[in-house]
Amino acid sequence: MLDTLDVNFHGKRHTDFDLKRIIRAQEQGFDLPVTAYLCGVSIRARAGIGVVFGHKRKDQYGRFGDGHLIRTSDVLKVEREGRFWVMTTVNSRYVLATFQRSNGRASLREFLRFSEKKLHFTPCILQ
């Protein structure tokens, strides 16, 4: 009987397209430091959801490891820098390498439309 069990919840492999976009983003460079690169991104309830790559706060326990799904803190703004969108949250800055197929870009357009209005942020207790 084996004593070890290897389980990887909420993981996803990056596609070749994702990796090419990440490489292009890293080559471009950005005005301010970047926390991580996200693939398959959509924005829901003021939070960004995507698959992370190259997170600066990755630890030995696997938190923020490459290929893990993450939910960001509240998105403050999303703006274009060069060929990529950069999402600034309460705690970090993420480069959006690719969007979720079915509704990723639509969620970005919806966020940009609603962010012009003064919306309420999620209470800190719930983040």
Per-residue tens of pLDDT for the chain, all 127 residues: 456 544 445 556 778 899 999 999 999 989 899 999 999 999 998 899 999 999 998 888 878 888 889 999 999 999 999 999 999 998 899 999 999 998 999 999 999 988 776 666 666 655 5
Tell me if 104 sits within 8 A of 114, measured CB to CB. no
The pLDDT of residue 2 is 52
Determine the pLDDT at residue 123.
60
* Per-residue model confidence (pLDDT) at position 24: 94
Give the domain extent around 46. Answer: 16-118
pLDDT at residue 5, as a whole number? 46
The identity of residue 120, as a single letter, is H
Query: Does residue 126 lie in a domain region?
Result: no
94 lies in a domain? yes
Whether 98 and 40 have beta carbons less than 8 Å apart is answered as: yes
Contacts of 77 (CB under 8 A, 6+ apart): 87, 88, 115
In a domain, 7, yes or no: no
Tell me whether residue 44 is in a domain. yes
First-to-last alpha carbon distance for the chain, in angstroms, is 41
Cβ density class 82-112: b for 16+ within 10 Å, e for less: eebbbbbbeebbbbbbbbbeeebeebbeebe
Number of structural domains (the chain) is 1
